[in-house]
Amino acid sequence: NAGVTQTPKFQVLKTGQSMTLQCAQDMNHEYMSWYRQDPGMGLRLIHYSVGAGITDQGEVPNGYNVSRSTTEDFPLRLLSAAPSQTSVYFCASSYSSDPGQGIGGYTFGSGTRLTVV
């Protein structure tokens, strides 16, 4: 049981480049989300999805796109990377969009550390 798998683990981009961070889960979770973790800021929600074909914005969506064509996958796209997007990105999934439902809360991947130079 792999849980939530994120690739790549590390990435360095030049300003203006685009890339896609991959996230896959094998738990048949309907809810998936992307957070970024920055020092002194905690984790902040970028985008989320409550099921295939449904996505919505979180607290800090600017500069990012998402799509959800399957239950398993939820890629995050950086359209034109900026140094302000240097961060650690975490994908999370859950049985329910409500973090208080179910038993284990949100299941997080191990993260992607992105540096934009």
Partner 1 sequence: QQQVKQSPQSLIVQKGGISIINCAYENTAFDYFPWYQQFPGKGPALLIAIRPDVSEKKEGRFTISFNKSAKQFSLHIMDSQPGDSATYFCAASVTGANNLFFGTGTRLTVIP
| 76 CB burial (10 A radius; 0-12, 13-18, 19+) | buried
**Counting contacts by CB under 8 A, is residue 22 touching partner 1?**
no
Q: From CA 109, how far away is CA 25, in angstroms rounded?
A: 9
How many binding residues for partner 1 (CB under 8 A)?
Answer: 29
Both tokens of 69, joined, read 């064509």
Query: Quick one: 28 or 40, whose CB is closer to partner 1?
Result: 40
**Which of residues 8, 51, 53, 105 is near partner 1 by CB under 8 A?**
105
Both tokens of 72, joined, read 């398993």
**Counting contacts by CB under 8 A, is residue 74 touching partner 1?**
no
**Which of residues 19, 27, 50, 82 is near partner 1 by CB under 8 A?**
50
The set of residues, in sequence order, having a beta carbon less than 8 Å from that of 41 and lying 6+ positions away, is none
**Counting contacts by CB under 8 A, is residue 59 touching partner 1?**
yes
**Counting contacts by CB under 8 A, is residue 108 touching partner 1?**
yes
Binding footprint of partner 1 on the chain (CB under 8 A): 4, 31, 33, 35, 40-45, 48, 50, 56, 58-59, 90, 92, 97-100, 104-111
